[in-house]
Amino acid sequence: MVCVLQGDRVMGERFKMIVTFALLGFVAGLVANFTGKVVIPWLSSIVLPTIGIDWILSGVAGALITVGLVTAWAYMSAPGEQ
């Protein structure tokens, strides 16, 4: 009987985890919808003409390079090799 209760508890934890990720996905969808309908048109009408597209492209390129370098560093420095 103890095994059955532990199995139910594990299934309950899994169900909670699935529901949590479902809610997070729902909220991410709401944020994406708001961003697509409100934020992006505002950015293209106000911010982009003010600072210029070259600054935006430079920022995106810098972000991608940084993410690539941090990812490479994380894979090369394994946790047990110190």
Per-residue model confidence as pLDDT tens digits over 24-43: 999 999 998 988 888 878 87
pLDDT value, residue 1? 45
Decide if pLDDT at 18 tops 80.
yes
Same domain for 69 and 40, yes or no, is no
Same domain for 47 and 67, yes or no, is no
Same domain for 43 and 7, yes or no, is yes
pLDDT > 90: what percent of the chain?
Answer: 13
pLDDT value, residue 26? 94
Same domain for 23 and 39, yes or no, is yes
- State the Cα angle at 76 between 75 and 80, rounded to 5°: 90
What's the total number of domains in the chain? Answer: 2
pTM: 0.48
Domain containing 79: what range?
52-82
**Cα torsion for 56, 57, 63, 67, to the nearest 10°?**
150
